[in-house]
Chains A and B, each alone.
Chain A
Amino acid sequence: MQIQNNKNKFNPFSLVIIVLFIAFSINPILGGVLIVAIIFFLVKNPKSLTTYFSNYLQMTSKLQNTLTENNPDIPKELSTNAQPITPANIFNVLSKKVRLEKRKKYLHVALNSTLEEAGEIISQLPASDRILIEAGTPLIKIYGTEAISRIKTLAPAGAYIVADNKCTDLAAREVKMMANAGANASTCLGVAPIETIDSFIEECQKFNIDSMIDMMNVENALSVLKKLKKLPDVVMLHRGVDETELSTEKQIPFYQIKQIKGNYDVLVAVAGGDTIREAQRAIFNDADIVVVWKNFYQSSAETAKLAESFLQEIK
């Protein structure tokens, strides 16, 4: 409805173009001066532009919703979840430059099973810039980069999407693929060759996305960081699912968090288990990001509840 109304309304954009055209036909210099004046006006009042873009973006997000409605893979109720776009976050959405901030504590929700279930969880998650949504490795290997772009469509506009691609080689190509699919961060294995990690971090900076190094099966994360040319944005400390299930002695190395943060200016992410207590413990140990995922015996509502209590209790 709104879009149709806009058509009949008087449009200041067309007025500007007509005036410009007249100015140019009188004198090209006058036209040039007018263009400079318009640019000056826009720089002084950027808000006059954002209202335009927000209309445009609402249109595009609506289009995406109709796409999901026609798609049998995705449950219907998801499409109602799209957040209205406010002028405040509009530039973030447009420029894809959502990056992590040093002072905030984040909850990182990993989605690993299927896209349907991913949609179910996303629709129940509270909207917040402190929630990161991860397209897990299994999802990427099953659906390819489509997993990332789909999750990005399902998630509220401007959400922070992590591609858990666990890069081990050919970093440049993988980072480009993930960034183009709309990821805000990509992961690389700490056990990968140092040359790969270096090239991974460099490429991430080039594409303006956050680089995360996954220290799974690395005994001493510090010794890997020491060898790097540049620091990553995030270091992830965690245990693999197979290791945790099959040998319970191995523990998340909480003591390493302080060691790393004491020596390097990076954010540290740790796996937080699946209760709010465990998440609190991780934050108490100075982690910046707590990673949680839904176990197969849990309902997705439980994951959403965990996210809500995280937002309330951890500031």
Chain B
Amino acid sequence: MIMLNQRSKYLQIAFNRSLDEVKGMIATLPASEKIIIEAGTPLIKRYGKKGITALKDWWEEKLQKPGYIVADLKCMDRGAREVETVAEAGASAATCLGLAPIETINEFIRECEKAGIDSMVDMMNVEFPFEILQKLKKLPAVVVLHRGVDENEKNREKQIPLDQIHRIKGTYGKVLISVAGGETTRDVVRTFFNDSDIAVIWRSFYEAPENTAQLAQDFLKLVK
């Protein structure tokens, strides 16, 4: 199983278009190990686990070796069952909602370790990610700080709590931090500057799939 390197920075690109289009988009990506491919929630709900397997196969073909695939499950209940399914489909990591019951998150993290994949806890709409982390039996591999798309569009005041990154890393040294919800190159620069390990982007790729190659190269320059 491929695991993330603590020292490296990563660019995570979420794919949400139809499988046909995604295939073309992945083919034009630069073959870089710093790119993480994400099967977005809408894509999973549309195609199920075969969507994840397809993304994994295409990315492997491009990289010429197995790549890192995130299944954005947004697990809310039945942690064990969902993790089993996506691990089987070939994902290297799965996400669980920080809003889920603590029992579910615990079960999710345990099950991820058992299946040998990274666990990511998505803190969308969680006011104090710290409170959730404190209650957990074990730490997840990655904490995702996230602004939802719907909230972003309708309410510009809410911000990604970048100041939380240092606090979380200071307290729990081992976890990686991923930041989702920014879209411009400026957002990405700021994210890395604030010490996050992974920057998640999707909208510019979703809106202009024909520019995938150019966009990916622009963003990759920011990932040191």
Using CB atoms and an 8 Å cutoff, list the residues of chain A in contact with chain B: 112, 137-138, 140-147, 165-166, 168-171, 173-174, 177, 189, 191-196, 198-199, 216-217, 240-243, 245-247
Contact = CB atoms under 8 A, between A and B. Distances in A.
The 8 A-B pairs at the shortest CB distance, nearest first, are namely A144-B48, A191-B99, A240-B77, A196-B150, A193-B151, A242-B104, A246-B103, A195-B154
A177 B150 contact: no
B153 interface: yes
B78 interface: yes
A168 B101 contact: no
Contact of A170 (B81, B100, B125, B150): B150
Contact of B73 (A112, A141, A195, A242): A141
Contacts of A191: 97, 99, 125
Nearest to A247: B103
A241 B77 contact: yes
Given A141-B45, A168-B124, A216-B76, A193 B104 contact: no
Contacts, number: 124
B122 to A, nearest CB: 9
Contacts of B150: 169-171, 193, 195-196, 199
B57 interface: no
Q: Summarize A's interface: helix, strand, loop or mixed.
A: helix
Contacts of B60: none
Interface of B: 16, 41-42, 44-51, 73-74, 76-79, 81-82, 85-86, 97, 99-101, 103-104, 106-107, 124-125, 148-151, 153-155
B183 to A, nearest CB: 14
Q: Summarize B's interface: helix, strand, loop or mixed.
A: helix
A169 B48 contact: no
B153 A195 contact: yes
A174 B45 contact: yes
A242 B148 contact: no
Contacts of B76: 137, 166, 168, 189, 216-217, 240
Contact of A144 (B51, B78, B104, B153): B51
